[in-house]
Amino acid sequence: MTGRDRTGSSQCRSQVLRPGRRGPGIIDTEMLRSCFGADAADYPDPAAWAEKAVPFLLGLGPKDNGKPMEVPE
């Protein structure tokens, strides 16, 4: 891992849980429902998440390395 890679990775991790955010990557699945109960419905189901996430993720490139990002709502 180069210095640039470590910096990007550190920046990414430092942005994972920003104030006011519920958390990254939480998707309403059977496993989440087993932990969160009815509150799991507050999160997108896999199909709804994928509709927004896949185009966003496919559009990422080297210019995005190290930038804090989240899938658009």
pLDDT confidence of residue 22 = 47
**DSSP state letter for 32:** H
- Mean pLDDT check: name the lowest of 11-20, 27-36, 45-54: 11-20
pLDDT of residue 70: 82
What pLDDT is attached to residue 58? 93
Instruction: Report if residue 6 sits inside a domain.
Output: no
CA dist., res. 30 & res. 37, Å (int) = 10
Question: Which residue has tokens 């990002």?
Answer: 69
The domain tally of the chain equals: 1
Q: Are 67 and 59 in contact (CB under 8 A)?
A: no
The answer to whether residue 51 sits within a structural domain is: yes
Range(s) of the domain holding residue 55 = 27-62
Q: Does 70 fall in a domain?
A: no
Q: Does 22 fall in a domain?
A: no
Domain assignment present for 46: yes
